[in-house]
């Protein structure tokens, strides 16, 4: 059953997914009123599905007025940010702050060795285009690095790296942030909004994929892992490839030198500005 809707809330989450599992408990602890949407309206959320091709404001009337509107799903290309913000404001007025969750994948512009919040990025990327449009409307963008926590377990991602040693050879730096720290970043932005600002959100570390692969392979095989022999075998195969690559590339020890890891993210800016620091300061 759809819960009784409040006339207004402090924070409206458009798209209550993985992030909300960390965010909602923190909002409750902080006494920040909130409402959430899902496409189906499951578990008492408000049913809402963004249609980028529709100019109908009717679906927005079932949403509450909010001080901060958080968009967790990707907006892409031209006009989508203008559409969702415009239709919402046509119903609820313009006194609302907008926050878009994005990806640090847009910061891939070489030859820049380090990327901070103001670094060049791929302006042709469809998500970057929508983010830029939101920034022009006075919104804020949080570009998130590799998300983990809860059901997101990095050691299980090794098959995504490729199927061969040559695939692993291409892997350099990687960055992460825990869901709890994503939630803390959202709340900090709600409390101290930064209009027209893009931030990189990571845990202040640069990880070396070679080093992580070796660390994952060295984990004690738990009871759960013993039931998943394929997972164990995959980790051991990747570790074997890294060992061979260390010989081939004359790498004496891990992690590798920072200078050879490729693009790296400087994520100090957000945490310094808000005067907080990640609670999960190292990938577990």
Tell me: the pLDDT tens digits for 252-282? 999 999 999 999 999 999 999 999 999 999 9
For the chain, the domains span: 8-153+175-205+265-274
Q: What is the pTM of this model?
A: 0.94
284 band by pLDDT with thresholds 50, 70 and 90: confident
Decide which of 147 and 218 is more confident: 147
Q: What is 8-153+175-205+265-274's CATH number?
A: 3.40.50.720
Decide which of 126 and 156 is more confident: 126
Count of other CB atoms within 10 angstroms of residue 4: 6
């Amino acid at each position: 059953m759809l819960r009784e809707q409040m006339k207004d809330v402090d924070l409206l989450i458009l798209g209550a997914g993985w992030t909300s599992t960390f965010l909602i408990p923190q909002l409750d602890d902080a006494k920040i009123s909130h409402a959430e949407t899902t496409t189906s309206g499951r578990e008492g959320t408000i049913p809402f599905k963004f249609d980028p091709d529709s100019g109908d404001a009717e679906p927005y009337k079932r949403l509450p007025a909010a001080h901060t509107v958080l968009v967790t799903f990707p907006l892409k290309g031209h006009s989508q940010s203008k559409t969702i913000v415009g239709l919402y404001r046509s119903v609820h007025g313009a006194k609302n702050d907008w926050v878009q969750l994005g990806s640090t994948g847009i910061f891939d512009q070489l030859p820049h060795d380090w990327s901070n919040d103001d670094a060049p990025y791929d302006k042709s990327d469809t998500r970057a285009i929508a983010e830029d449009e939101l920034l022009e409307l006075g919104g804020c963008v949080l570009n998130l690095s590799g998300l983990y926590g809860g059901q997101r377990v990095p050691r299980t991602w090794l098959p995504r790296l490729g199927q061969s040693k040559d695939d692993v050879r291409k892997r350099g730096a990687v960055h992460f942030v825990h869901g709890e720290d994503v939630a803390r970043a959202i709340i900090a932005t709600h409390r101290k909004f930064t209009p027209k600002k893009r931030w990189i959100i990571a845990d202040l570390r640069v990880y070396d994929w070679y080093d992580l692969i070796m660390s994952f392979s060295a984990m004690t095989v738990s009871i759960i892992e013993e039931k998943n022999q394929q997972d164990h075998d995959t980790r051991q195969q990747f570790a074997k490839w890294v060992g061979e690559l260390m010989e081939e590339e004359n790498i004496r020890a891990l992690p590798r030198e920072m200078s050879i890891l490729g693009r790296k993210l400087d994520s100090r800016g957000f945490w310094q500005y808000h005067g907080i620091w990640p609670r999960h300061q190292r990938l577990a």
